[in-house]
Amino acid sequence: FQRLKDGLSRSSTKLTDSITGIFTKRKLDRALLDELEEALIAADLGPATAEKLTKALAKDRFDKEVTSDEVRRLFADEIAKLLDPVAKPLVITQKPHVVLVVGVNGSGKTTTIGKLARLYQGQGKRVMLAAGDTFRAAAVEQLKIWGERANVPVIARGEGADPAGLAFDALTEAKASDIDLLLIDTAGRLQNKAGLMEELAKIVRVIKKVDPSAPHDCLLVLDATVGQNAHSQVDIFKQICQVSGLVITKLDGSAKGGVLVALAERFGLPVVAIGVGEGQDDLKPFAAQEFARSLMD
Ligand code: GDP
């Protein structure tokens, strides 16, 4: 968790500093609450969460002297409470459990699939990958490399192949090979939203021919560094497929972890894991308390 801590401390330093900078010990009045609310909003926690947190603070402390340490502790506790219900790992319920992985290009989809493959393979599950982003040859190649690294089979076809056909073949193969988890990569060309919507809908339609209950999960991968843009990505992908969970990547960089809190507050979607680096072991289960504390440390 050091990476997450380092990453978040880089981003949260700003938030922590701005909270500390506002006061060391001061009477909690309206002006102070407003300043704190602004600092929270500036750190991407969103207006709703910012209001909730400052209200919780005001509840017992209004008109009393407070220290910045106290405030950060209380905020961390409130954030942990808010995040706790969304901290849910991916649970494999079917055989094969079929997971569609969606998200805009560059969000970290392929990398996340590689990391998930490694994680579940390490737990003794039989994993298979399907290179459904057939639009980009590089994406297919990259997935193959991740598959080799994790030592799991990758079903791929050439550039421009029909992704639905590929998904059909992959699921058929997964059933025949006693696979536990099938992770399907998809294209993320949001500039052609209608086309993407149709493509994903077709993948879903076609894999249902093999298993009517599939896909069992649709994971949306979001890059934390895009800040507020993450909200519109969730909005859009919720229209495209039934998003069942989120993976938030790049929390090791200069990311503002605050956006994760805002997303949890607004959408209540499970955060199944977080990405804290480019390596194969850099996917971590999402732990509410730890995250909240890192954000406020
Ligand atoms: P895709 O287009 O959505 O499949 O995105 P990729 O998986 O190709 O990732 C895009 C870039 O982000 C690559 O350079 C990855 O190494 C990088 N990346 C993905 N996840 C993380 C993460 O958690 N942390 C960091 N620092 N980089 C990441």
pLDDT at 15: 80
pLDDT at 280: 93
> Could you please report the per-residue DSSP string of 71-119?
HHHHHHHHHHHHHGGGB------STTEEEEEE--TTSSHHHHHHHHHHH
Tens of pLDDT along 100-158? 999 999 999 999 999 999 999 999 999 999 999 988 888 899 999 999 999 999 999 98
ipTM: 0.99
pLDDT of 65 > 70? The answer is yes
Q: Which amino acid is at 272?
A: V
Tens of pLDDT along 175-205? 999 999 999 999 988 878 888 889 999 999 9
| Distance from the alpha carbon of residue 88 to the mean position of ligand 1, in angstroms | 22
Q: Mean per-residue pLDDT for 155-183? A: 95
pLDDT at 25: 83
* Pocket perturbation via mutation, ligand 1, pick of 1, 111, 246 by most ligand atoms within 8 A of CB: 111
Which residue numbers belong to the known binding site?
A: 103-110, 185-189, 249-252
Atom 12 of ligand 1, residue of closest alpha carbon: 108
Q: Mean per-residue pLDDT for 55-59? A: 96
Residues within a 6 A CB radius of ligand 1: 103, 105-111, 139, 142, 188, 249-250, 252-253, 275-278, 282
| Distance from the alpha carbon of residue 282 to the mean position of ligand 1, in angstroms | 11
Cis ω for the linkage preceding 215 (within 30 of 0): yes
pLDDT at 11: 61
pLDDT at 12: 58
Between 230 and 17, the higher pLDDT residue: 230
Confidence band for 45, pLDDT divided at 50, 70 and 90: very high
Tens of pLDDT along 229-261? 999 999 999 998 899 999 999 998 755 789 999
pLDDT at 192: 83
Mean pLDDT computed over every residue of the chain: 92
Which residue numbers belong to the known binding site for GTP?
A: 103-110, 185-189, 249-252
Atom 9 of ligand 1, residue of closest alpha carbon: 108
Q: Mean per-residue pLDDT for 194-217? A: 94
Confidence band for 10, pLDDT divided at 50, 70 and 90: low
Q: 212: how many CB neighbours lie within 10 A of its CB? A: 7
What whole-number percentage of the chain has pLDDT above 70?
Answer: 96
pLDDT of 9 > 80? The answer is no
The mean-pLDDT minimum among 187-191, 263-267, 284-288 falls in 187-191
| Distance from the alpha carbon of residue 56 to the mean position of ligand 1, in angstroms | 36
| Distance from the alpha carbon of residue 5 to the mean position of ligand 1, in angstroms | 19
Atom 20 of ligand 1, residue of closest alpha carbon: 108
What whole-number percentage of the chain has pLDDT above 90?
Answer: 77
Q: pTM (2 decimals)?
A: 0.92
Phi, psi of 138 (to 5 degrees): -65, -35
Q: Mean per-residue pLDDT for 65-82? A: 95
pLDDT of 7 > 80? The answer is no
What is the atom index within ligand 1 of the atom nearest the CA of 253?
26
Q: How far apart, in Å, are the Cα atoms of 227 and each of 154, 245, 249, 266?
A: 32, 18, 12, 14
Look-up of token digits 């060309």? 189
Give the single-character DSSP code of 156: -
What is the atom index within ligand 1 of the atom nearest the CA of 282?
23
